[in-house]
Every structure is written in C-alpha cells, then in structure tokens.
Structure 1
Amino acid sequence: MTAGAVPAGRAAPPDRPAAPERRGPATDAPADGRSAGQWGSGPLLLGVRHHGPGSARGVRAALDATRPACVLIEGPPEADGLLPLAADEEMRPPVALLAHAVDDPGRAAFWPFAEFSPEWVAIRWALAHGVAVRFIDLPAAHSLAAADATGDEVDEELRIDPIGELARTAGYDDPERWWEDVIELRGTTAPDDPTAPFAAVAEAMGALREAHGDGGHARDLIREAYMRLQLRTARKEFGDSVAVVCGAWHVPALARRTTVGADRALLKGLPKVKTETTWVPWTHRRLARRSGYGAGIDAPGWYGHLFAAPDRPVERWMTKVAGLLREEDRIVSSAHVIEAVRLAETLATMRGRPLAGLGETTDAVRAVMCDGSDVPLDLVRDRLVVGDVLGEVPADAPAVPLQRDLARLQRGLRLKPEAQERELELDLRKENDAARSRLLHRLRLLGIGWGEPVAGRGSTGTFRESWRLRWEPELHVRIAEAGVWGTTVDSAATAKAEARALEATALAEVTALAEQCLLAGLGEALPVVMTALADRAALDSDVGHLAQALPALARSLRYGDVRATDTAALGEVAAGLAERICVGLPPACAGLDADAAAEMRGHLDAVHGALGLLPDSAERTDRWSGVLRRLADRDTVPGILRGRAARLLLDDGRLDEDEAARLMGLALSPGTAPADAAAWIEGFVGGAAGGGMILVHDERLLSLVDDWLTGVPGDTFTDVLPLLRRTFSAYEPGVRRTLGELVARGPSSTASRPEAGTPGFAASLDEERADGVLPVLRLLLGHDEPEGADR
C-alpha cells in the first residue's frame, strides 16, 4: 500500500523490515526543492518519519517560520473532503483514514495518524491558519485495485532500510536508538533556521538513493510520479509558497527534475476501483510495530509523552509510571521517583546519550520501582510504553448506515467501545443486559468480533452470560463488509442468517445457526432456518451428523426458555433426531477403528448431555438407557465405546456397582487383547471431569485395574502405555496422588467383598488408621492433646 497505509485486517509479513516506512527528516534537494531561507527557490520539502514526535515538532516549527500558502501531505487524495473534520473538537487522535473498495469492502487500507504524527501536525496547522491543505499520494482507487483481496500488493520488492543504513554509518547497532539520539531527544529545531535539520537528512537520503538506486521498490516510482504531478499543480496555483510533508525517502524524488510526460507515462494504464473513505478511531496498540503495521513504532505511548511533555520529560514519565504502579497496589514513593530519575540520567551519561531515552528509563524503573522484576515492568510496557488509547471521530463523519445504527445502539445500551480488553457479565433477566446480549450475538453472526463469549466465573445457569470485549480498528472494515446485508444490525443479521440457512449443506451447520438465531433474538429468521433444518434432517441418515446436530438443538430449547421464545418447532425436530439416533447408533458403532471410535465417543457424550436438556420424557430416557446397555454388552463395539456406555449408565443409576464390576472384569480378562482392554478403561474412567474418583471410592474397581495392569505381558505393555498415560494424566493431581497411595498400600482385606451399600469401604472400623487422623484434627481445632490421654 502507500507509505503509512496499513492493509485492513492484515498483518505485515514478519520478515518485512519496518524501517523503510520510518522516514528520517529530510528536506529539499537542489533542483526543484527550496533551500533553507527564503521563498522563490522552490517548494519547501519536509521529509519526515511517520509517527515521529521529533519530526512533528520540526514540521510545526518550520511551518510557523515559513508560513506557506499551501500544505501538501502524503496521503490518499480521495480524503481531501474529510480534512476539515480534523479541526473538529470531537476529533481526538489516534485516528485513521479508512479507504475501501465499494464493491469489495474487505479490500481496504488505513492511513493512521497520532497526535505526534508530523502529517497530523501539518493538517492541524493548515486548518488553524486558513491555509489550503491537500493529500498528494497515489489515489486509493489505484492502490486498492493493485492489491489482492487480502490487502497485499502484488509484485512488491522491499526497499532498503534507510534508518538502519544511516545508523550503521554513524556506528550504531540499533537504528531506533540512533534516531532517538539524533532527533527525538535533541529536538529538530535549530535556533536560526528550523528547516536546517530537514536539509541535513534530505542530503543523507539523496546519498542513499544514489548509492542504492531507488531502493528497488517499483511501486514507489509510480507514487512519486503522481506526487510530482500534484506538486506541479499546486505550484501553478500558489507559486513556490508550497510546503510538502512526506516520508523522507521520497524527498530526493520530489526534488528531481522530470518531465510531465515521463511522469504521466508511469501512471498510464493503472487499474482502478471505486472507493469510499472516512475517518475511524485508531489505537496506540495498532500503531505499535508488533501489531504488524509496516510503519509502526515500538513505543507509541512513550513518543506521545515526548511530544506532549512541555519540559522535564524524564521526571514527568517517572511520575506516570509511579501512578500506574500505585494503582496496582505496589508501594512506590516520591523517593522512588527521584532515585529512578537520577539513575536514568546517570545511565544516559554513561552511555553517551543527550538525554535519558526509553532504554534508560526502563532500566531505571526495573531497578528502582520493580525490584528487578519484569512482571510489573510488563504492565508498564503494556499500559504506558504502548498504551490503550482509543481515538474518537465526530459523529457527522461519513459512515455506512450499519455503522450509524451500531453507534446508536452502543449509546443506548451504554456499551462504549474500548481498546483495552474487559470482561462483561450479563444477567439476562434484566432488560438492558438481555439487549446487550442480543447485540453482541448479532454482531458475531455478522462476523464483527467485538465480543467473545467466555466461561463465567459465577453462576453457570442460563440466565448468565460472560463476554470478553475489545474494540479493534479493523472492525470498521468488518462493519463495511456486513453493510451489504442491511442498514441496521437487526436487518443485516436477519438477512445473513436466512442466506446461510439456504446455503448450508451440513445438518450441524443449520442447527448451530438456529442456536445463533435464538441467542441473537432473530425471530424473523427462524422460520427460514427451521424450514432448512427440517429439510436437512429428513435427508441426512448419517448417525454422526445427527449426533453433531442434536446438542445445538437441545441448547436452543434451553435458551428459548430463558428468552421466552416459542421453540415448539425446534422441540419436534429435536425429538425426531433423538429417536433416529437411538435406532441408528448401535449398528453405527460396530466395527469402528480406533480413530473413528474416539470420534464416536465424543458424539456419545454429546448426545447423552443433550438428551438431559430436552423436555422430560420417561420413554425417551428408557430408550436411551437401552441403547447404552446394548453398546456396553456387544463384543463388536470398540472397547472405548463399551467402557463409556457402562460409565454413563453407572452415573445415571441405571447400572449397579456389582454389574459395573462384572463388565470391567470381562473387559480386563486375560482373553481380551491388551489394547482393547486399555481402550475400555479409557472409556470408563477417562475424559469426563472427576472420572478418576470412581476408582478412589471403589477399591474393588481399582483392584481389577491393578491386577490387569500387572498382568499385561512385557512385549505389549509399551503398546498400551500411551493410552493409559493419556487416561490417567487427565486426572487432578490430588486424584493421582490418592490412587498412587491406594495402589502402594494394596487392597484391604475386605476390598473384594464390601458390605452392601458401602462400596469401596471396609466392613468394620480400622482403629489404627483412624487413630492416625486424631493428631491432625486436634491441630486444626486448636486443642492440645492431654498428657497420657486415652485415644
């Protein structure tokens, strides 16, 4: 994309150097650019580093000193009509220009601006002084047309890293530290001529381009040709009283003497698409290079502080850090702040830096305020060095109708978008919380992932929902894409649900869609979804597909009860599926290999849980218990399914302990292959939460497992070991420890024949073992044992 532009929803490849997008300040070259001093020798070319506070201060000083009649800025010309909004009081950076193809909203790009971006400073200066301001980069109509559907440009070569080259020439091994020393920590203004620093770096950029050609970046040549044409147009109107703010790498090209014909020839035949542009909020986190933004910076929060601090930036920064750590209940005093400032300044002196930079302040904070720990330091990096600042745009900024409806709903529900991740607990019995839930579910159906459902920390009832919310700038692109479905969130979600129902081919997909419609309160879409559901259910005879579909229907019936939704039609379909599963499951479980059996076990658990959510039906419950019993008794059914069926029956009280022990004894008999026996054990005691507790409380079953395991031949033991490890490693540490102690102690004399009604316990009290507990009880209760007491 264009310099400073970020493909929407697409991270730059990790091997793409960010430095080419980090332009160092530069000025005019001798041909068409003006030399420092007076107007009349060419336009003022101010080469900058995108999102560089030093460049931003320098641009402001240069514009104040030269007072141009027109300011040209690297950016998409389609956004010229949006520039006046930058002066609106409601506009608070970071913000970004968003351009997307009208026919394909997913093909989009952003041009971000922070408060400390030189381009933003130039825009605000021009608007404040009544000066003409325009964008002059290659139009987004061409840039987006040259990109594929994912936002990547085609056949782009990477230019050299100019900052890295200059840093290496200066003897630095860290380009970022060199830039801080030369620009950010010294300032960019000279007492006699604010344009002088730009001239110096422009000369360096010219030397780099002369040494390396034009960096091998063919796309740059096209962009620079367009910028030269725009510069010529502005000069015809304003003469040489024109200032250009662009990436420093482009300055030598803009100052180069070329013909109009040659520049137009480079632009001839470029593809073009119809585009729309608007302002959208951006975040400091998305300005960070680690987010994938090619022109990103390491520390947006730190740069914002350097730009905004009127004086004593190190002292002010340490005060911010201390405030953050105090909010997190860490003991940080004024003395800590003073000592941290002193240490940072000492480190800067030792390292030969003009002022303590981010490295020195970070080292000082770690040593003085964090006691050498990186844990609180990570909080400082996340909250301050990067930051969670979310910009704002005026309400009257252009937006698709869907965006306006969403903004209205957000205001009405008091659900403000925030850059920082937060959790939201909803009680669906409250009208406002129920409306919030419907909105978040509708957005998820539209592919707008503002919120993700999470497991609640409190009640697990159907009246509770927990969400994790985080607003990302890329969601604006998702909103633009979803705008094709409707002008409101409700109508768009309904239309998309109906379209998905008609297109779906898998039964489970339709049942999941029905669940989504109930959660989102899309009553108008349900008839279409239910028709599709009935059609797919009638045609699908695969038991696995039916088993996948039933849980979503059962949950839908449960949610419908909470939301007072008529789910009679869903109930009929669910009952029909349950009946067909009961008929088809036994033959479908015969003769399966290990992988298919493991998959069918998941279906078995899901169906068992789903049937428990359906309206009570004694006949259905008896029918399902009979199916499980047939599975448990059939030798042709894989061991993992026989064991699982036996365990489900035991848990439901449909199988007594003696019968469970008999089935286990048969499965673990010497005539059973060790692998099949191990699979039976996995089905019986593995997977489910608390599966191992049955062995803890029933020593008879544990003894059967122990006897079988000790009798496995050595040549086959290694074959069953991975299966057994997978089974027992899933247990809680306390359960594993208790099982180990029981096996080490060996079976009690009565373990094989416990009294009726007391499974897993001896017939009489073991006084010696009971006496061993008494000292611990006295210690817990705070009672001292009397000397000579009779225990």
Structure 2
Amino acid sequence: MSAEVTLLGVRHHGPGSARAVAAALEQLRPDVVLIEGPPEADQIIALAGEKDMVPPVALLAHAVDDPAKAAFWPFAVFSPEWVAVRHAVERDIPVHFIDLPAAHTFALAASPEEAASLVPADSPEEAVSPAPAGSPEEGVPGGTSSEGESVQDPIGALAEAAGHDDAERWWEDVIEHRMPGADALAPFTAVAEAMTALREHGATGRRDELREAYMRQQIRAARRAGHGRIAVVCGAWHVPALQTMPTVAHDRALLATLPKKLRTEITWVPWTHRRLSQHTGYGAGIDSPGWYHHLFSTDVTTDADPLARWMTRVAELLRSEDHPVSSAHVIEAVRLAGTLAVMRGRPLAGLTETLDAVRSVMCDGSDVALALVHDRLVIGDALGEVPDSAPAVPLQRDLARLQRSLRLKPDPEERELDLDLRKELDSARSLLLQRLRLLGIGWGRPSRSAVNSTGTFRESWRLRWEPEFAVRIVEAAQWGTTVEDAATGKAVEKAAKAEVLAQLTKLVERCLLAGLPAALPAVMRALADRAALDTDVAELAEALPALVRALRYGDVRGTDSSALDGVARGIAERICVGLPPACTGLDAEGAAAMRAHVDGVHAAIGLLEQDTAGTPDSLASRWVATLQSLARREPSAGPATGVPGLLRGRAVRLLLDDGRLDSDEAGRRMGLVLSAANAPADAAGWVEGFLSGGGALLLHDTRLLGLLDEWLTGVPWEVFTDVLPLLRRTFSGLEAGVRRTVGERVAAGPLGTPATPAAASATDIDPVRADAALPTLALLLGLPTPVLAAGGPRMPRIPRQTDRRSAT
C-alpha cells in the first residue's frame, strides 16, 4: 500500500468487513473515498445520508432504450460499501464510485462476440438482460486460473490452505467475529497478501481486466485532483491489481476496446433481506442476512451479549407461533451454543452452533420449528425505504401516490387482502391490482376466483412486494406516465399482437376488471375481426366463457359492456352449429379437451341466457338441441367417424341436470350404451362423461346403479383390464362419501334391497380363495405357516363378478 492510497479489500455484505472498514476510515481520516460501484450513481450518492433512506436498498441502473437491460447493486446496513458511503456523506467528504460504468457493461452484454469472451465474474452486471438481477459480488470475487478454470471461491481456497473444510465457518472465525484492534489496517494488509498469493497462480478474465483498468484510472484521477489521503473500498480480489499500477498507456489501450456506451439511467430502490439470500435464486447474495444484520447492529464492545439477544428474539418468534418457550429455554440455549463453540474450537458461537442449540432446546429437535426461525430471523423480510427525492419515472411516482391514497403499503411478507367491490376504497384497490397485473407487475395474485366465489362483488388477493418490480415499472413506463394510461397502452398493444381468439376474450375480461374503458374500443375491434374469421370450434368454445365473465363483471362494476353481448351471442351461435361435427372422430386426448370446452360453454350460456332460457327461440334452447344432437350420435360407423362415448355421456348428463331429460330416458340411454352390442371401451367412456358431474345420482336412482353393475360384471375378461383404469379414474373423481355408499350398496346384495344377515353369511365365502391368502397373512404376522387342505392353496382363476366390482 502506498502512502497516498489505502486499499481496503472487503467481502461484500460482511458485517466483519463493514466493522473493519468503519474503524479503518476513522483511523485514516481520508479526504476522498472511492468505492467499487457504478460511476453513474455519483449524482445520487448524497441521498444515502437522508433520514428517509433506510437499508436494505439498491442502486438500479437500466438502459434507457431497453429497460429490460438492468442491474442492481444492493446495500445492507452491514455492507462495507454502505458503511463507507455513510462515513463520507456524514462528514462531507467527497465520495465516488469507480467501477466500470453500467453503460459500458450493458453494451458489452449486448455484443455477442464480447459476451462470449467474458468469463463469469463477480460484478453486478453479470446478470443483466433479460432478467434483472446482479449485484456487487458475494464477497471476495473470483477469476480464472492459468489452466483456464474459473476460480469462483477464493475464500474456499484460503480456508483449505488454513486446514479448514468449511470456508464459511473459517471466514466467520477470522473476520466476522473479529473486533478491530489497535491497528485497524492490519486485517486489510493480511487479506491483501492472501489475495496476492492467490492471483499469482491464476489469471483474470477480460471483464475483470476492464474493470480494474477503469478503477486504476479513477484512482489516478483522484491523485490529479489533489487528494492526499485516498481510501479505496473494493472487493478483496481486486486489491493486487490496484496495488501495482501498470502504465497509463496500458490501461487506456485496454479501455479503448470497450464498445460504445448505452444511454443509462440510475436510481435508488428499496431492497429486502430475502433478496440478499441465495435461497431465492439471488446468486450474489449471502446465506444469512438477518443473522449478519444482528451481528453488525449489536454493539459487542459493550456489555450487550449478541448471543443472548438473538436467543431472546428466537423465543419471542416461537412464542408468537404458539410454541411453549420459557426464559429457562433461552438460558439453556445460550449455554449450549457457547459449549458447542468451545468443543468445536471456535472463538465465538457462530450461526451453526446457534441453530443447533435452538433446535435442541427450543424446538425439541423439530426441523419444522427451526425452519420458521431460519426463514423469519436468519434470512428475514426487512424492506428498505427510499426518499421521495430519489429519481423515478413518472409511472413510479403515480404508483407511489396510489399506494399512499389507497393505504396499500408495499410489504415483502405475503398477506391476504379481502375486498368488497361495493365499497369505493376496495373497488379502487381492485382496479389498481388488476392494472398492475396487466402490466406484468404481480404485486397481487387472486387467491380465490370471483367466478367461483359466492358473489361477484368479492375478491381475495395475496399481496407480496418484490424488489424486481422496480425494473418492471421502468419497462412499463413506455406505455404511459400513470398506471391507468400504461395499462391502457399495454392492453391495446397486446390486442394488436394477439394470435388466438381466446387471448382477446381474456384480454377483454381483464380490461373490464381493470376498469380500462379507453382500451375497449381497440380490443373489441380486434376481437370482432378475429371472431368473424375464426372457424375452429375449439377456439370459439375456449373464448366464450371469458366473454361471459366479462359481461357479468361489467354489470357489477358499472362498466358499459353492451358491445360484448352481441359478440358473445354470435360466438355461441356458431358453437351450436359447429359443435356436433367438431366432436366426430376425436381420440381420447381430443375428447377430454372437448369435454372441458363443452362444460365451459354450457356454464357460459347458462349465465348469458338467465332471463330468456324458457323461450323457444332462445340461445339456451338452441344449445339444448345441440346437446341432444350430440347425445344421439352413436359411433355406428366406427370410432373414426362417430362421437366418443365420453362426449355423448357428458351431453346426456348435462341434459339430465338441466331437467331437459328425465331419469327414465337417461336410464334407457345408459342401458343401450351398456349393452353387449357396444364396445366396452366406448361404454366406459360414456360412463365417465355421465358421472363426471357427480355420482350422487347413482344413490338416488338404484336402477342406474343396477345397469352399471350388470354391465360391469358382464364385461369379457380379455377387455376388462383395458377398461378398468378408465373406470377407476371415473370413480376416483367422485366424492368419498358417494364412493363408500355405492360400495356398501353393491356389497349388500341385489341392488335396491337392504342388506340381510343371509347376504353376509359365511356360506358366501369361497374357502379355496380364502385359504390362498393365509400363507401371506401368516408371513406378515410372524405366525407359523398354516397347514392347508389337501392340494394346498390354489391361485384364483379369473376374478368373479364381485371381484370386478371391488377392483373398480
């Protein structure tokens, strides 16, 4: 280290490193602080000193012309960079970020030949476009070895050299649990020596070379500006490259190979401890942000015991979840953690010892309770705050205004929100959440569909705010400056790009749910054009339910949806005409898909024709005629030209449920289908379609059950095994009570008569078949093998009728 420049090599998001940086800066008293990070943030770095800025927060940079190209630089209260920023801002010391600009990074990522030449590194820009991720590296960054292999874990290499098999535990012992000594710079000197030794046996990739060249240029610029005491806070891996400076010409030549910068904007956004965790897919995070926050926030220089405070928090959490935890548990857990640390040769109890003690003492060995502690305390859901003065796109400001006025505070913890759409506040909340969903910002997810609820005026949502929504808000800003305008623009664009009719009908429904009348004309034009040209009955059937739901919601929300009525009725008319031919010659998979469409259309027409269902020329009457036509189309010419039994049986059931067919006629049709003249597989499909609406009618009409039983017992054995899986699937879909009662009635004897003692007498038992099971039972119970009748047990022949009933 030179007399002018002091390099403080750190592990990012490390409380020990953060504490060491604070002590080193107090000792050095620099007149400028340089920090690894995007230089574009220099213009907003002063916001870190405002009282409304509460970590965890992150810098968000994105390309202006392509907001999907974005990267985050998260900072927690225990991040060394954050400590350095606050030190400089609070003391009015100049502070600058000196890493490679995000504008260059986005340009590199956009260049295929450049991206192919870059090795994985530690930088925040590694995970740019298309998914926003990225951050400062998770500690000491990596490089590549001389053999070309990536050196991704320098800490692991140092721990192995020290004789430790657990890199994290070794790092905790030597750094995180260490308090600054008399010389606050000593730890950084040791880390620099270790990194120098590691880099002597390896080579860095092109990305690191570019970054380090830019950092050296910024250090030279600080010297030229007249600063005498320069403190540089950077990843420890970069320290050797910044200690020995090559010539200025070397670095200029290297940086001259950078592609042209992309126009970039940057701001502060809230972040969460959970997003700092690797367990949510955040690759540059840390395992235990909540634990690290506790270590850094507890002043261990006083009499305060961080371990006792932690155990107290654990006890408070477990008590809130109805776990019986007393003060004695806390005392014993602290003692056990300390004892484990001594036995394992550690200077202090680390997270491993703490969790072992919590599991044993407070959780009674339960991993379920321990998982709660890990999720709530070891990781945590702390959400940062950013002052209103931070730069933001107009859409973000409008969303923040709506969140305040509707009293919907962003929360990283998932919570339920029940809305009554008859209330003005709840209706406005629903509109906001629906509009955000249309923009791809899934802050709220419907937890119970309004279609399946008891009334259309109720909605239930699950709310959970994710930091990545900041990028999606920037992306959505291209469609408008307010949430309503942006959602309208997005809907119009989606309508223009829709390729399937069902996409347009669902879009209409979402526009009505979101209260976007300005988008409806364009969407309706696209819908009418597509509906007029679409001849696929399956697509029409898939599209109709969403349209009818849209009409229903339009009535509830007071939205003018009259234009939808004509389109919906036109689509329904075409379905009535084209459905029977479309059901001809379908295979099993196609028949199952068409059955779902038939059910959806049946429910939709029922809602559409609530007032005119009884008139002869109504749409409902034409739909009944379609179902009757479908039910009569027997596969007389073979399966390739006939309607599958699944659809015929479903049509009969829908007619029966609506009172368009009496039980006698349904029984007659079932008898015809289940006769010996029909193929068993087609008959089984008919039964599946007939019973898919619920099997309670078999309990109310024993004649139907008798027909089914008679057919089942008469199915030839050679095809019974093929029919059995289909029948099992059919009956498994019935309610448990229905299945049990059907079984009891079949076992009681002749269907339609109550069970008698004679029906269950021992004379009905087949001794030969019963004896066949005795050896197996004796083996399971550990009893001597029974002596059977002469000839020994015989394996049963083809199952008899009662066995077929049981198998089904």
TM over 0.5: yes
Which position in structure 2 is the counterpart of 1:302? 291
Cα distance, 1:539–1:715 mapped onto 2, change above 3 Å: same
Which position in structure 1 is the counterpart of 2:788? none
Report SS of the residue matched to 2:225: helix
Output aligned runs, 1:600-619, within 5 Å: 600-615=594-609, 616-618=611-613, 619=618
Choose from 520, 538, 560 the match for 2:532: 538
Choose from 107, 118, 129 the match for 2:80: 118
Instruction: Say yes or no: does 1:289 pair with 2:278.
Output: yes
**For the residues of structure 2 that align with 1:297 and 1:500, how far apart are their CA atoms?**
39
**For the residues of structure 2 that align with 1:260 and 1:149, how far apart are their CA atoms?**
26
Which position in structure 2 is the counterpart of 1:190? 181
Displacement of 1:484 after TM fit?
0.3
**For the residues of structure 1 that align with 2:471 and 2:351, how far apart are their CA atoms?**
34
**For the residues of structure 2 that align with 1:198 and 1:238, how far apart are their CA atoms?**
25
Which position in structure 1 is the counterpart of 2:659? 653
Per mean C-alpha deviation after superposition, the further-off stretch among 730-739 and 639-648 is 730-739
Which position in structure 2 is the counterpart of 1:69? 31
Instruction: Say yes or no: does 1:171 pair with 2:163.
Output: yes
Which position in structure 2 is the counterpart of 1:395? 388
**For the residues of structure 2 that align with 1:471 and 1:198, how far apart are their CA atoms?**
38
Cα-Cα RMSD: 2.0
**For the residues of structure 1 that align with 2:461 and 2:687, how far apart are their CA atoms?**
38
Which position in structure 2 is the counterpart of 1:570? 564
Per mean C-alpha deviation after superposition, the further-off stretch among 661-670 and 732-741 is 732-741
Cα distance, 1:521–1:315 mapped onto 2, change above 3 Å: same
CA contact (8 A) 1:699 1:747 kept: no
Cα distance, 1:768–1:375 mapped onto 2, change above 3 Å: farther
Q: Which amino acid aligns with 2:181?
A: A
Output aligned runs, 1:221-620, within 5 Å: 221-271=209-259, 272-311=261-300, 312-455=305-448, 460-615=454-609, 616-618=611-613, 619-620=618-619
Please give the per-residue CA displacement for 1:733-771, whole angstroms capped at 9, x wherever unaligned: 333333333333233355xxxxxxxxxxx7xx99999xx
Which position in structure 2 is the counterpart of 1:209? 199
**For the residues of structure 2 that align with 1:632 and 1:734, how far apart are their CA atoms?**
29
Report SS of the residue matched to 2:234: strand
Choose from 695, 700, 711 the match for 2:698: 695
Please give the per-residue CA displacement for 1:331-371, whole angstroms capped at 9, x wherever unaligned: 21111111111111111111111111111111111111111
Per mean C-alpha deviation after superposition, the further-off stretch among 79-88 and 256-265 is 256-265
Please give the per-residue CA displacement for 1:689-746, whole angstroms capped at 9, x wherever unaligned: xx23233433332332233223323332332233223222233333333333333323
Output aligned runs, 1:3-14, within 5 Å: none
Cα distance, 1:534–1:543 mapped onto 2, change above 3 Å: same
Please give the per-residue CA displacement for 1:273-303, whole angstroms capped at 9, x wherever unaligned: 1100000000000000122223210000000
Please give the per-residue CA displacement for 1:3-56, whole angstroms capped at 9, x wherever unaligned: xxxxxxxxxxxxxxxxxxxxxxxxxxxxxx23xxxxxx2411000001000000
Please give the per-residue CA displacement for 1:145-201, whole angstroms capped at 9, x wherever unaligned: 222599x954433431101111111222221111111111223x122x101011111
Which position in structure 1 is the counterpart of 2:638? none
Cα distance, 1:695–1:290 mapped onto 2, change above 3 Å: same
CA contact (8 A) 1:59 1:118 kept: yes
CA contact (8 A) 1:515 1:552 kept: yes
Q: Which amino acid aligns with 2:165?
A: D
Unaligned runs of 5+ in 1: 1-32, 35-40, 751-761, 770-791
Cα distance, 1:405–1:504 mapped onto 2, change above 3 Å: same
CA contact (8 A) 2:11 2:236 kept: yes
CA contact (8 A) 1:285 1:387 kept: yes
CA contact (8 A) 1:62 1:194 kept: yes
Q: Which amino acid aligns with 2:47?
A: L
Please give the per-residue CA displacement for 1:529-580, whole angstroms capped at 9, x wherever unaligned: 2222222111112211111111011101110111011221111111111111
Cα distance, 1:345–1:51 mapped onto 2, change above 3 Å: same
Which position in structure 2 is the counterpart of 1:57? 19
Displacement of 1:440 after TM fit?
0.6
Cα distance, 1:600–1:164 mapped onto 2, change above 3 Å: same
**For the residues of structure 1 that align with 2:97 and 2:717, how far apart are their CA atoms?**
78
Q: Which amino acid aligns with 1:134?
A: H
CA contact (8 A) 1:50 1:295 kept: no
Cα distance, 1:490–1:749 mapped onto 2, change above 3 Å: closer
Report SS of the residue matched to 2:545: helix
Displacement of 1:139 after TM fit?
0.2
Output aligned runs, 1:673-692, within 5 Å: 673-686=679-692, 688=693, 691-692=694-695
Q: Which amino acid aligns with 2:483?
A: V
Instruction: Say yes or no: does 1:44 pair with 2:6.
Output: yes
> Which of 1 and 2 has higher RCO (CA within 8 Å, sep 6+)?
1
**For the residues of structure 2 that align with 1:461 and 1:624, how far apart are their CA atoms?**
26
Which position in structure 2 is the counterpart of 1:20? none
Q: Which amino acid aligns with 2:633?
A: R
CA contact (8 A) 1:485 1:495 kept: yes
CA contact (8 A) 1:70 1:238 kept: no
Normalising by structure 2, report the TM-score.
0.85
Instruction: Say yes or no: does 1:623 pair with 2:622.
Output: yes
Report SS of the residue matched to 1:452: strand
CA contact (8 A) 2:325 2:362 kept: yes
Cα distance, 1:768–1:613 mapped onto 2, change above 3 Å: farther
Which position in structure 2 is the counterpart of 1:104? 66
**For the residues of structure 2 that align with 1:766 and 1:566, how far apart are their CA atoms?**
65
Instruction: Say yes or no: does 1:146 pair with 2:136.
Output: no
Which position in structure 2 is the counterpart of 1:743? 746
**For the residues of structure 1 that align with 2:578 and 2:449, how far apart are their CA atoms?**
36
Normalising by structure 1, report the TM-score.
0.87
Cα distance, 1:502–1:335 mapped onto 2, change above 3 Å: same
Cα distance, 1:493–1:164 mapped onto 2, change above 3 Å: same
Please give the per-residue CA displacement for 1:375-408, whole angstroms capped at 9, x wherever unaligned: 1211111111100111000011000110000000
Q: Which amino acid aligns with 2:462?
A: R
**For the residues of structure 1 that align with 2:400 and 2:505, how far apart are their CA atoms?**
31
CA contact (8 A) 2:745 2:751 kept: no
**For the residues of structure 1 that align with 2:535 and 2:479, how far apart are their CA atoms?**
33
